[in-house]
Structure 1
Amino acid sequence: MTTPVLLEEEDQAPRKARRTRRLERHLKRGGNEELNIVSMIDVFAVLVFFLLVSSSIAAARLNVLSLNLPSNDQATPPEKLPLQLTVSLLPGAMVVSDRNGAIRKLDNTPAGYNIQALSEVLVETKKAAPSENSLTLLVAPDVPYDDVVKVMDAARLTPAEARNLGLPRELYPLISLGDAQGTTPVSPGATP
């Protein structure tokens, strides 16, 4: 049993000597090598350029924001609030409302939604607020798509009679769609 142990030690002794000789040769050849930092300097130069450019762009964005804060001695008139016109398509009726509440409730006719009456109401509201261009259309889940398109067309295009009176060709060209809150018609005095 002692013989195999001696053989292993004898095999390891030449390996250690070989490793030691290789390490000594390596140290003699390259022992005084210096660290090459030229590539690292190149990376830092590009990084500094990138940081300078990005900081100037960020500073330019901050300078775009110009605030004119009112002073205490100046009385400014309050800005006119937008109309926020809304047409709600419910299963039994249409409700036209603005930011203050319901303007008019239009019950369905036997043929369906009363598009003619809606057009008249929208012409009246356009005459009252000619600068308003947006309208929100709230649709109940069971309303047919064809009716939605008819209402959108009535809200977007001005009738010929109203155009003859001087209204623009488009009543409310900016129409947003949404889901109606309830499926029951709202009473005229209540907010939809």
Structure 2
Amino acid sequence: MAIRRRLETDPDLDITSFMSLMTVLVPVLLLNMVFSHISVLNLNLPGLSDASAEEQKENRQLEMVLRAEYIDINYPAGIRVKRIPNRDGKPDLKLVSDVLQEIKRALRDKDIDKKDLVILSEPGTPYRTLVSAMDTARSFRAVVAASVVDAELFPQISLGDAPQGDDLAQSGQRQNEQLAGNGL
């Protein structure tokens, strides 16, 4: 019995449509990678500790208190260095940056390398205001060797709730007594 064999040939693969898809898909995916940049902010949350250590540490804290009508800069904690009223209903973050730069220079002159700042905000503070304040406290634009760079201010930022109005009234006397003695 004779076996008859068929000559089978493999059909050619037509990958033209697949190559067209890749030609369009690769540039689109690469462009989307540029626009989906993710930023990570490191925030420090207050921990549980004994009150005596907290009081000593609290006294050396630099605070930025965000209120609806103004921003207070306090150093040490609770002692106002400068009150910056809002301009046109928005916080004057340029002046805040200038004040923080002056504080950084004054601390550096005293050989204090301070990198942390506590931002205290009222419960109704808009998210955009809080993020803008964090960006302002973290760095500022400086011109170095004919190029603009971001210079570091206070990159370690902690968040908290601003004290109520009654707390400010009680600390008002202590603040007036110590305001002249803070040296800033």
TM-score (norm 2): 0.51
2:89, 2:80 → 1: CA distance? 24
Q: Deviations over 1:55-77 (max 9, x none)?
A: xxxxxxxxxxxxxxxxxxxxxxx
Whether the 8 Å CA contact 1:119–1:159 is kept in 2: the answer is: no
Q: Deviations over 1:117-172 (max 9, x none)?
A: 100000000001131100000000111000000000000012315x67xx982100
Aligned: 1:106 with 2:84: yes
RMSD after superposition: 3.0
TM-score (norm 1): 0.49
Instruction: Select the structure that is richer in strand.
Output: 2
CA displacement at 1:82 relative to structure 2: 7.4
Letter aligned with residue 114 of structure 2: E
Q: Which residue of 2 aligns with 1:148?
A: 130
1:29-68 matches, within 5 Å, as none
Q: Which residue of 2 aligns with 1:87?
A: 64
1:122 to 81, 94, 100: 100
1:14-25 matches, within 5 Å, as none
Whether the 8 Å CA contact 1:155–1:172 is kept in 2: the answer is: yes
Whether the 8 Å CA contact 1:157–1:169 is kept in 2: the answer is: yes
1:91, 1:176 → 2: CA distance? 20
Unaligned stretches of 5+ residues in structure 1: 1-80
Whether the 8 Å CA contact 1:86–1:97 is kept in 2: the answer is: yes
Q: Which residue of 1 aligns with 2:118?
A: 136
1:183, 1:151 → 2: CA distance? 21
Structure 1 runs of 4+ aligned residues shifted over 6 Å read none
Q: In terms of Rg, which structure is larger?
A: 1
**How many equivalent pairs are there?**
107
